[in-house]
Structure 1
Amino acid sequence: MSVDTTASAAGDSPAGSPAGADTEGVVAMFRRVLETEDVSADSDFFLLGGDSLVATRVLSAIARSYGVELTFEDFLGAPTPEQLAEKITDAR
């Protein structure tokens, strides 16, 4: 039995995987729009001070960067970078 040491205990995808790269991209988007470096893969956008207007900026950035259109309802149901990365993967 082998153990994947590249994934974190929190369940993040390995950084080299597409989902891991997407997660890092969404983390960067959160940092940019929220103007804070205090964002991790499991940070809740709304608990970090994000609101619906700023969320639309993230959704626009996702559409530009990944070529997928997520809805605001998608965002509400997946408010962390890791969850949004899963939505991006599912939408491809």
Structure 2
Amino acid sequence: MTKPSPAPADIPALVVEIAGDLLDDADLSPDADFFSAGGDSMLAMHLVSRLARATGLRLRVRLLIASPVLGDFAAAVARLAEESDGATVRLPSAR
């Protein structure tokens, strides 16, 4: 049985939860900058990978790099979830 994807409204809490787990910081907030809070490129890949599995979206690390504040990143992911309406999302390649 396939686990249902979280609703776009649930994505901010999921992002903060995953980031907090990876950074071993239960007090992270949506206002936290992932990289300033101790994140690095390897942890960014883990965050994006875990979030992609949880949402069913096809996500790229560059989305987190472009929006390192967790709330902003979550909002971008939620927009992708809304636009995809259940379809796999692929971000445009960088030029």
Task: State the TM-score bracket (shorter-chain normalisation).
Answer: 0.7 to 0.9
RMSD: 1.5
What per-residue deviation string (whole Å, max 9, x for no partner) do you get for residues 12-55 of structure 1? xxxxx843x21111110011000111300110000001000000
Matched, 1:25 2:36: no
> d(CA) in 2 for partners of 1:18 and 1:75?
17
TM superposition shift of 1:90? 2.0
Q: TM-score when scaled to structure 1?
A: 0.73
TM superposition shift of 1:83? 1.2
Structure 1 segments unaligned to the other structure (5+ residues): 1-16
Structure 2 segments unaligned to the other structure (5+ residues): 1-6, 82-95
Q: TM-score when scaled to structure 2?
A: 0.71
State the 4+ residue runs in structure 1 displaced beyond 2 angstroms: none
- Structure of greater relative contact order (alpha carbons < 8 Å, 6+ residues apart): 2
> d(CA) in 2 for partners of 1:22 and 1:71?
16
Asked whether the equivalents of residues 23 and 39 of structure 2 are also in contact (C-alpha less than 8 Å), the reply is yes
Superposition map of 1:40-59 within 5 A: 40-59=29-48
Asked whether the equivalents of residues 62 and 69 of structure 1 are also in contact (C-alpha less than 8 Å), the reply is no
Q: Matched residue pairs, number?
A: 75
